[in-house]
Amino acid sequence: MKRLLPLIIFILLALLLGFGLKNADQKSLIPSPLIDKPAPEFNLPLVGKPDEFVSKADLLGTSYLLNVWASWCVACRQEHAFINEISRSGLIPVYGLNLKDETADATGWLRQFGNPYAINMADRDGRVSIDFGVYGAPETFIIDAQGRVRYKHVGVVDQHILEQEIKPIVATLNAEQANAK
């Protein structure tokens, strides 16, 4: 029995670690405190057009996908194909929030990889991103016609995320919209 003790301790430990792992799984889906709450107010210039401003109020009335990106973010390159695809498919309007970037870098990057953003706002000092609770690029939000945050994804958007998460949310939003009319 005495010799079994280390093994027993280890088995308990392994169970505990297994439990921790199960939770770590959920940890990566960091719930945003903003879900189902009104999105933060913003009024930002467009990338490359510093005199044109877009505010939250301007965007009310349709739901849209807001993609936080930057030219310095390597992971953004990885997901960019999917962002382009979403934009092309017309699934939902895609807007960009360009985080802490230089205008020249940002426009050059879009020229190289394609520009999916119907509206592309420049968050030079990262203030608005902080309000949104962004802690790194890329992050993706879906905001409904009433200006509420309905979905948040931290990290790269891939096929799985697109099919399993973004599309169902968009479907729900469309249904809500239809009901409202």
Partner 1 sequence: MNAELGQLALILGLLLAFAQFVFPIIGAWRGNSTFMAMGRSAAYGQFVFVSFAFVILTYAFIAQDFSVSYVAYNSNSQLPMLYRFSAVWGAHEGSLLLWVFILNIWTVTVTAVSSRKGSVLPPEFSARVTAVLGLISFGFMLFVIFTSNPFDRFLPSPLEGADLNPLLQDPGLIIHPPMLYMGYVGFAVAFAFAIAALLGGRIDREWVRWTRPWTLLAWSFLTFGIALGSWWAYYELGWGGWWFWDPVENASFMPWLAGTALLHAQSVTEKRGAFIGWTLLLSISAFSLSLLGTFLVRSGVITSVHAFASDPTRGVFILAYLGVVIGGSLALYAFRAPKMITGGGFAWFSRESLILINNLLLTVAVGMVLLGTLYPIIADAFGMGKISVGPPYFGSLFIMLMAPLMMIIPLGAYSRWKQDQIGRVASQLILPLVISAVVAALAAWMLSTGNLRTLTGVFAGCWLITGSLSYAIQRIRRQKRNSLPRSEFAMILAHMGVGVFVIGVSMVETTSTEKHIPMGPGDTFTVAAYEFEFKGTEHVEGPNFSAERGTFMVSKNGKHVTALFPEKRRYRKGQVMTEAALDPGFTRDLYVSLGDPLDNINQRWAVRIYEKPFIRWIWLGTLMMTFGGLIAMSDRRYRMTARAKEKTRLMAEKTSASEVTA
137 Cβ contact partners less than 8 Å away, ≥ 6 residues apart:
68, 69, 70, 73, 75, 76, 99
Q: State the amino acid at position 103 in one-letter form.
A: T
Smallest distance, Å, CB 30 to partner 1? 7
Q: State the amino acid at position 45 in one-letter form.
A: P
Q: Given the complex with partner 1, which of 17 and 171 has the nearer CB atom?
A: 17
Could you tell me how many residues of this chain bind partner 1 (CB under 8 A)?
31
CA distance 6 to 157: 44
Categorise residue 30: left if φ over 0, alpha if ψ from -120 to 50, beta otherwise: beta
CB 172 within 8 A of CB 142: no
CA distance 130 to 64: 20
Q: Under the criterion CB under 8 A, does residue 100 sit at the interface with partner 1? A: yes
Contact pattern from residue 64 through residue 93 relative to partner 1, giving x for each residue in contact according to CB under 8 A and a dash for the rest? --------xxxx-xx---------------
Smallest distance, Å, CB 80 to partner 1? 11
Smallest distance, Å, CB 108 to partner 1? 11
96 Cβ contact partners less than 8 Å away, ≥ 6 residues apart:
47, 66, 67, 68, 69, 116, 117, 119, 120, 121
Q: Given the complex with partner 1, which of 101 and 144 has the nearer CB atom?
A: 101
Q: Under the criterion CB under 8 A, does residue 19 sit at the interface with partner 1? A: yes
Q: Under the criterion CB under 8 A, does residue 111 sit at the interface with partner 1? A: no
CA angle 33, 38, 40 (to 5 degrees): 85
Q: Given the complex with partner 1, which of 59 and 162 has the nearer CB atom?
A: 162
Smallest distance, Å, CB 25 to partner 1? 5
Smallest distance, Å, CB 14 to partner 1? 6
Interface residues toward partner 1, by CB under 8 A: 3-4, 6-7, 10-11, 13-14, 16-21, 23-25, 27-28, 30, 72-75, 77-78, 100, 136, 154-156
